[in-house]
């Protein structure tokens, strides 16, 4: 008898969860004015994508998508580091972490 | 059933990340979200990623966020206000995005009638991923270390305490 | 060294000289600049001599491919044959003498290094012109000498006394030459279209293989080539630039506007002889234009009072004579006259330069006189040049003119008659010039007289060398009555390896007729000389003031009003057109149409730039909107069009 593994829920549900997380992240990016929270929302969106990748990887039994997730984590770590250090420098200069304060590049 | 509960909790804590006023709380909720996501990875037999997600995201990155928050020592007055109008448009935009993406993936749902039964395979185990990572994806793996060096140097250079004038 | 390397060295030496002087000349001592430039050209001359001695057959040297098209290629090739090497010897030989002369003549000039840069560049371009083995390289050289000529005519572009007159003269030369260049360009296009190559030898072979195929196109091509030649070699109707070109420094007039560049047109026609042999109509046109030019220019030269203008019109007249020879198909004779003319006209120009130098830049012959004692070497050499151009027996000009006259006599007595008129007038204006400058009493006032001095060695040595060449230059191509073996040496040499020339049968005259014609020419020259001596030395006649002239003299003095004619016919209407366009068209169409368009664009830009608010969240909002739009598009597409 073929051994089967119940992944616990339907594929629809995982897709639904990951899209919901992604949209929540997007709403966060659009609403929040705090730059740190902004960065966190971006991390949330990245994780939503990771979740979708892992779901499909399991579904199709292909491990290469998980390698992709691994590299996404790597890039996210680098991105968070750089983003936070830019944030610190910006804060030092303007004593604010309000994203609306940084509109010097307007037309 | 357990995955439905997990998924609901994930979405709930993700919402709290956005909704909570104080950044520290946002961080805590985000860490919780990551834990839930890691739990889902374990359910899907992707143990390696579950571990990595916990160590790197919940462990390293979120600690970095917390660290920065403490470093800046923000008080309540400095928290920027979210206007009603921007909240409204953002929710409209995000909701539309959600609906549109669900619609785009509607063809996929024909696979997902009922519970999905997949053959037991060990694609997500450390051994399999390690073999892949150190054979086929060796070069990207090594190059990612260069990315880290660049990020590290950049971070040090940017955050160096020196009079830097932006405006 | 192999021949090809030798040839390339020969061509590149002047370019190297120009580069060094152009870049470092300002910081180097004057003596070094001049010596370097002169040595470069002189070394080229020596290399040319080596090649000349070793010449046995036509050699093509391939340097590199410039461009490759579907059915033809453009190559930088050089051709070594008797014609090109002969022109090279003239250019570098006369060129190095004139460089030497310039070292003395330009010694007080600020733009000393600039002058030698341009001169070396000119020599390089001229070598490209005569050594190229196809019309493409020739065209490059052609334009190169054009630009050098322009730069050198306008050399003193901010002259304190004359203002922008020099620049205007340069501009005139440039525009006139461009009119001719259009002809050359069209000829090139037609040749590419018909022959799919620009190599002289290949075109020649195609034509020789089946001449009947190409008679029609040959006529069109040759007419275009001749238009180019009239521009460069100052023939009617494009000759008015050459007298104005005398605004340049005198060595330039000697090198470019007498000895070398203006003979490029003749070279072009000799080089394309196989085409011209197919087009008798063009040859007749050349003949008529040549005769008209030589007579008209000689007529104008008789009453000019500027020493350089006389020589300039004389050059035009002599070039006309060469074109007459070309029109009769006597290519080698034309080149013989090119050679001797290069000798004596360079000598005359350098002599006049020496006179001008001595007279502190005075060019009016009415203020000169009696210079024979003050500048003895210039006087003797100038006399030799005058005798040579006037056709005094047994000097170089005598033999070369006699060849042309003999061919004219053989083809038609009418042509001979016209040419004799021109030759007589040549003798008249040259002796008038000579006697007015060097004999009689000094008319420039005592103050000027005290300044007059003989020029230095660097100026007199070229004069002496050129004088010797002017005397003995005729030996190159003796008529062959007396010395049968030595006769027509140059014609035979040129015919030996030049493509096309070696297939044309050259007629040579029999002894008796030839001797009679020579005697007539000698008698004319001698009688004119006597008449001029009596008029200008015994009677002390000086060039008249404008008021005393009769109608003919006025006509000559005012250059037949040709400049005024061109001004009325061409320049005024174009000026009227441009001023009208500027005031009407520009105001109405440009201001109201285009400026309104620009202000509309500016306004729209002003409006849309506000979209870039600088707020990150608004950008993100539009980005999300864009994503939604994209996905919706694909959803709709896959739903309804599948």
Q: What one-character-per-residue DSSP string does chain A give?
A: ---EEE-SS-HHHHHHHHHHHHHHHHHHHHH--BHHHHHHHHHHHHHHHHHHHHHHHHHHT-THHHHHHHHHHHHHHHHHHHHHHHHHHHHHHHS--BGGG--TT--
| pLDDT tier at C583, thresholds 50, 70, 90 | confident
Contact, C9 vs C47, CB < 8 A? Answer: yes
Query: Given A26, A29, A103, which is nearest C615 (Cβ)?
Result: A103
Closest CA to B44 of B118, B111, B141, B129: B118
The C-alpha of B101 sits at a distance from chain C's nearest C-alpha, in angstroms, of: 7
Q: What are phi and psi of C67, to 5 degrees?
A: -155, 150
A2 band by pLDDT with thresholds 50, 70 and 90: very low
Q: Kindly report, residue by residue over A72-97, the tens digit of the pLDDT.
A: 999 999 999 999 998 888 888 888 88
Angle, vertex CA B140, rays to CA B134 and CA B143, nearest 5: 115
- Are C493 and C342 within 8 A, CB to CB? no
CB contact under 8 A, C631 and B93: no
8 Å CB contact between C251 and C353: yes
For residues B121 and A3, what is the distance between their CA atoms, to the nearest angstrom?
Answer: 9
Q: Where are the alpha helices (DSSP H) in C391-533?
A: 396-411, 413-438, 446-451, 457-472, 489-497, 511-533
Average pLDDT over residues C198-208: 89
- Report d(CA C529, CA C434) in Å as an integer: 10
Q: Which chain B residue is nearest to residue A86, measuring alpha carbons?
A: B158
How confident is the model over C60-64, as a mean pLDDT?
Answer: 89
**C634 interfaces chain A, CB cutoff of 8 Å:** no
| % of residues, chain C, pLDDT over 90 | 41
Contact C145, C119 (CB under 8 A): no
**Tokens standing for residue C350:** 């350098």
For residue A1, is pLDDT > 50? no
DSSP C322-359: HHHHHHTT-HHHHHHHHHHHHHHHHHHHHHHHHHHHHT
By C-alpha distance, the chain C residue nearest B103 is C635
pLDDT digits (tens, 9 = 90+) for B89-137: 888 888 999 998 888 877 766 655 544 455 555 666 788 888 888 999 9
- The arithmetic mean of pLDDT across residues C452-474, rounded, is 88
Return the structure tokens found at C51.
């090649």
Distance of alpha carbon A7 from alpha carbon B2, whole angstroms: 10
Query: What DSSP string describes C361-413?
Result: S--BGGG---HHHHSHHHHHHHHHHHHHHHT-TTSHHHHHHHHHHHHHHHH-H
Q: Does A37 touch chain B (CB under 8 A)?
A: yes
Q: Is B5 on the interface with A (CB under 8 A)?
A: no
- The first and second tokens of residue C577, run together, are 């057109």
Candidates B80, B133, B158; nearest CB to A89: B158
Return the CATH number at A23.
Answer: 1.10.287.3510
**Contact of C322 with C315, CB cutoff 8 Å:** no
Model pLDDT, residue C543: 66
Q: Which residue of C has its CA nearest to A26?
A: C624
Which of C619, C626, C632, C634 best probes binding to B when mutated, by most B CB atoms within 10 angstroms?
Answer: C632
Segments in chain B below pLDDT 70: 76-78, 108-124, 162-167
Region C221-246: mean pLDDT is 91
Mean pLDDT value of segment C112-137: 93
Instruction: For residue C215, give the nearest of C282, C134, C136 by alpha carbon.
Output: C282
State yes or no: pLDDT of C323 exceeds 50: yes
pLDDT category at C453 given cuts 50, 70, 90 is confident
The residues, ordered by sequence, that sit 6+ positions from C296 with a Cβ below 8 Å of its Cβ are: C236, C560
DSSP at C544? P
Our measurement of the distance from residue C31's CA atom to the centroid of its chain's CA atoms, rounded to an integer in Å, reads: 28
* Signed CA dihedral, C622, C625, C630, C631: sign only: positive
Domain carrying residue A49: 11-99
Q: Does A32 touch chain B (CB under 8 A)?
A: yes
pLDDT digits (tens, 9 = 90+) for C503-539: 666 666 666 777 888 888 888 888 988 888 888 888 7
- Report the alpha-carbon distance of residue C289 to residue C414 in Å, rounded: 15
Which chain B residue's Cα is nearest to C634? B104
Phi, psi torsion values for C48, nearest 5 degrees: -60, -40
Q: Closest approach of chain A CAs to the CA of C591, in angstroms?
A: 29
Per-residue pLDDT reduced to its tens digit, C63-79: 889 888 888 888 999 99
B55: nearest Cα among B30, B73, B38: B38
Chain B residue nearest residue C630, CA to CA: B100
Choose between B101 and C590: higher pLDDT. Answer: B101
Are B104 and C627 a contacting pair at CB < 8 A? no
Subunit contact B101:C631, Cβ cutoff 8 A: yes
Closest CA to C230 of C195, C277, C282: C282
pLDDT of res. C454: 81
User: Tokens 């880290």 label which residue?
Assistant: B148
Task: Count structural domains, chain A.
Answer: 1
Checking if the pLDDT of A60 tops 90, the result is: no
Residue A106 counted as domain residue: no
> Which chains border C (3 or more CB–CB pairs < 8 Å)?
A, B
What span, in angstroms and rounded, lies between the C-alpha atoms of C87 and C263?
10
* Contact criterion met (CB < 8 Å) for A20 and B87: no
Of B86, B96, B101, the CB nearest to C617: B86
Q: How confident is the model at residue C609 (pLDDT cuts 50, 70, 90)?
A: confident
Q: Which ipTM did the prediction report?
A: 0.87
How would residue C268 be classed by pLDDT, with cut points 50, 70 and 90? very high
For residue C509, the model assigns a pLDDT of 65
**Please, which pLDDT band fits residue A21 given cuts at 50, 70 and 90?**
very high
Nearest-angstrom CA–CA distance, C271 and C549: 45
Decide if pLDDT at A3 tops 50.
no
Say yes or no to pLDDT of C262 above 50.
yes
Longest C-alpha distance within chain B, in Å? 61
CB A21 within 8 A of CB A52: no
Q: Give the C-alpha separation, B131 to C150, whole Å.
A: 77
Smallest Cβ distance to A26: which of C615, C616, C624?
C624
Q: Tell me what pLDDT residue A40 has.
A: 92
Cβ of B53 and A50 within 8 Å? Answer: yes
Q: Contact at 8 Å (CB) between A56 and B108?
A: no
C59: number of Cβ within 10 Å: 18
Out of B1, B18, B159, closest to residue A28 by CB: B18
The torsion angles phi and psi of C77, rounded to 5 degrees, stand at -115, 150
Q: Does C614 touch chain A (CB under 8 A)?
A: yes
Q: Å from A4 to nearest chain C CA?
A: 35
CB contact under 8 A, C616 and A99: yes
Residue C248 falls in which region: left (phi positive, over 0), alpha (psi -120 to 50) or beta: beta
Three-class secondary structure of residue C61 per DSSP: strand
Q: Report the candidate in C161, C433, C496, C142 with the shortest Cα–Cα distance to residue C306.
A: C433
How many C-alpha atoms does C201 have within 13 Å on its Cβ side?
A: 17
The CB-side HSE value for B125 (13 A sphere, CA atoms) comes to: 5
Nearest to C77 by CA among C181, C200, C193, C250: C200
Residue C111, min C-alpha distance to chain A (Å) = 52
Task: Give the side-chain half-sphere CA count within 13 A for C634.
Answer: 11
- pLDDT value of residue A91: 86
Interface check for B144 against chain A (CB to CB < 8 A): the answer is: yes
Q: Which two tokens stand for residue C345?
A: 């006209």
The alpha-carbon gap from A94 to the nearest alpha carbon of chain B, in Å, equals: 9
DSSP-derived 3-state class of residue C143: helix
Chain B CB contacts of C631 below 8 Å? 100-101, 104
Q: Which of A2, A7, A56, A104 best tests the B interface by mutation, with the highest count of B CBs <10 A?
A: A7
Tell me if B93 and C625 make a contact (CB, 8 A cut-off).
Answer: yes
Q: CA C398 to CA C373: how far, in whole Å?
A: 28
The pLDDT of residue C294 is: 93
Q: How far, in Å, CA of C351 to CA of C92, rounded?
A: 19
Give the residue on B whose Cα is nearest the Cα of A17: B7
Residues from chain B that touch A58, judged by Cβ atoms under 8 A, are 44-46, 118, 123-124
Closest-CA residue of B relative to A4 is B119
Chain C residues with CB within 8 Å of chain B CB: 617, 621, 624-625, 627-628, 631-632, 634-635
Buried/exposed code over C484-508 (b: 16+ C-beta within 10 A; e: otherwise): eeeebebbebbbbbbbbbeeeebee
Contact C613 A107 (CB under 8 A): yes
Higher pLDDT, C446 or C18: C18
Burial-class residue C126 by CB neighbours within 10 Å (0-12, 13-18, 19+): buried
**Type and span of the H or E element at C68:** strand C59-68
List, in sequence order, every beta strand (DSSP E) within C159-228. Answer: none
Q: Closest Cα to residue C625, out of B105, B89, A65?
A: B89
Range in B35-44, C62-71, C163-172, C610-619 the model is least confident about:
C610-619
Nearest-CB residue to C614 (from A30, A33, A106): A106
Task: Tell me how many residue pairs between chain B and chain C have CB atoms under 8 A apart.
Answer: 21
DSSP assignment letter at C534: I
Instruction: Find, among B71, B33, B28, B95, the residue nearest to A31 by Cα.
Output: B95
Give the residue-averaged pLDDT of C168-192. Answer: 91
Model pTM score: 0.69
At A7 the pLDDT is 53
**Nearest residue on chain B to C637, alpha-carbon basis:** B104
In C, which residues are within 8 Å of B103 by CB distance? 635
**Cis upstream peptide for C237 (omega within 30°):** yes
C165 token code pair: 């007159």
Report the DSSP pairing between strands C59-68 and A4-6.
Answer: unpaired
Per the prediction, chain C carries an average pLDDT of 87
**Gyration radius of chain A's alpha carbons:** 18
- Name the residue among C581, C332, C356, C284 with its Cα closest to residue C480: C332
């Amino acid at each position: 008898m073929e051994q089967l593994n119940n992944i616990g829920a339907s594929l629809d549900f995982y897709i639904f969860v990951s899209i919901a997380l992604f949209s929540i992240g997007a709403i966060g990016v659009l609403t929040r004015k705090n730059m740190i929270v902004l960065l966190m929302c971006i991390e949330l969106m990245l994780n939503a994508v990771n979740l979708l990748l892992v779901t499909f990887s399991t579904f199709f039994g292909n491990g290469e998508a998980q390698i992709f997730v691994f590299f996404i984590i790597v890039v996210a770590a680098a991105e968070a580091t750089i983003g936070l250090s830019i944030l610190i420098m910006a804060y030092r200069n303007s004593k604010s972490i309000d994203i609306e304060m940084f509109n010097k590049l307007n037309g | 059933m357990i995955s439905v509960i997990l998924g609901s909790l994930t979405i709930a804590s993700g919402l709290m990340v956005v909704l909570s006023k104080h950044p520290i709380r946002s961080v805590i909720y985000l860490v919780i979200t990551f834990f839930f996501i890691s739990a889902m990875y374990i359910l899907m037999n992707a143990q390696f990623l579950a571990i990595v997600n916990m160590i790197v995201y919940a462990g390293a990155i979120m600690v970095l966020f917390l660290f920065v928050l403490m470093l800046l020592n923000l008080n309540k007055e400095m928290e920027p206000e979210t206007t009603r109008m921007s909240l409204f448009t953002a929710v409209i935009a995000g909701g539309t995005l959600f609906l549109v993406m669900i619609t785009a993936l509607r063809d996929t749902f024909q696979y997902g009638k009922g519970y999905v039964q997949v053959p037991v395979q060990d694609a997500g185990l450390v051994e399999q991923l390690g073999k892949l990572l150190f054979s086929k994806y060796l070069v990207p793996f090594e190059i990612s270390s260069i990315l880290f060096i660049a990020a590290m140097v950049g971070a040090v250079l940017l955050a160096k305490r020196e009079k830097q004038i932006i405006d | 060294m192999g021949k090809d390397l030798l040839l390339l060295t020969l061509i590149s030496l002047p370019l190297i000289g120009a580069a060094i002087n152009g870049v470092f000349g300002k910081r180097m001592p004057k003596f070094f600049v001049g010596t370097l430039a002169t040595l470069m050209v002189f070394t080229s001359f020596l290399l040319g001599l080596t090649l000349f001695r070793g010449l046995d057959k036509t050699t093509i040297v391939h340097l590199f491919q410039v461009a490759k098209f579907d059915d033809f290629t453009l190559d930088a090739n050089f051709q070594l044959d008797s014609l090109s090497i002969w022109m090279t010897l003239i250019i570098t030989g006369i060129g190095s003498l004139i460089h030497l002369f310039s070292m003395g003549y330009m010694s007080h000039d600020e733009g000393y290094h600039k002058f030698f840069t341009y001169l070396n560049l000119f020599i390089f371009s001229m070598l490209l012109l005569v050594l190229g083995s196809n019309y493409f390289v020739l065209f490059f050289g052609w334009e190169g000498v054009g630009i050098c000529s322009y730069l050198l005519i306008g050399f003193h572009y901010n002259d304190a006394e004359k203002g922008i007159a020099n620049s205007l003269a340069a501009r005139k030369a440039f525009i006139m030459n461009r009119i001719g260049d259009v002809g050359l360009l069209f000829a090139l296009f037609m040749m590419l279209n018909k022959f799919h190559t620009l190599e002289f030898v290949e075109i020649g072979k195609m034509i020789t293989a089946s001449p009947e195929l190409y008679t029609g196109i040959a006529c069109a091509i040759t007419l275009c080539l001749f238009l180019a030649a009239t521009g460069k070699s100052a023939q009617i109707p494009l000759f008015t630039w050459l007298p104005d070109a005398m605004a340049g420094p005198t060595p330039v007039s000697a090198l470019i506007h007498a000895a070398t560049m203006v003979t490029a047109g003749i070279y072009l026609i000799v080089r394309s002889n196989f085409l011209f042999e197919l087009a008798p109509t063009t040859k007749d046109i050349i003949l008529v234009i040549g005769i008209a030019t030589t007579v008209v220019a000689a007529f104008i030269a008789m009453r000019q009072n500027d020493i350089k203008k006389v020589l300039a019109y004389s050059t035009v007249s002599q070039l006309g004579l060469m074109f007459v020879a070309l029109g009769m198909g006597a290519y080698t004779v034309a080149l013989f006259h090119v050679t001797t003319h290069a000798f004596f006209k360079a000598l005359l120009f350098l002599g006049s330069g020496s006179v001008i130098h001595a007279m502190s830049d005075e060019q009016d012959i009415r203020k000169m006189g009696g210079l024979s004692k003050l500048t003895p070497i210039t006087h003797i050499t100038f006399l030799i040049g005058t005798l040579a151009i006037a056709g005094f027996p047994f000097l170089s000009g005598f033999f070369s003119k006699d060849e042309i006259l003999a061919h004219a006599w053989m083809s038609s007595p009418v042509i001979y008659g016209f040419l004799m008129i021109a030759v007589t007038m040549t003798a008249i204006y040259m002796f008038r010039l000579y006697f007015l400058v060097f004999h009689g009493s000094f008319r420039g006032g005592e103050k000027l007289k005290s300044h007059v001095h003989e020029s230095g060695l660097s100026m007199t040595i070229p004069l002496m060398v050129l004088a010797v060449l002017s005397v003995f230059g005729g030996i190159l191509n003796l008529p062959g009555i007396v010395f049968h073996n030595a006769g027509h040496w140059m014609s035979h040499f040129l015919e030996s390896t030049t493509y096309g020339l070696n297939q044309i049968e050259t007629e040579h005259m029999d002894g008796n007729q030839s001797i009679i014609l020579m005697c007539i020419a000698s008698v004319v020259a001698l009688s004119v000389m006597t008449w001029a001596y009596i008029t200008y030395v015994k009677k002390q006649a000086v060039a008249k003031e404008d008021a005393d002239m009769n109608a003919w003299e006025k006509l000559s003095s005012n250059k037949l009003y040709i400049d005024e004619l061109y001004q009325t016919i061409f320049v005024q209407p174009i000026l009227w057109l441009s001023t009208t366009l500027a005031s009407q068209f520009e105001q109405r169409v440009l201001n109201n149409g285009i400026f309104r368009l620009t202000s509309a664009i500016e306004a729209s830009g002003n409006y849309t730039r506000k979209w870039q608010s600088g707020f990150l969240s608004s950008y993100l909002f539009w980005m999300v909107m864009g994503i939604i739009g994209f996905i919706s598009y694909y959803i709709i597409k896959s739903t309804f069009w599948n």
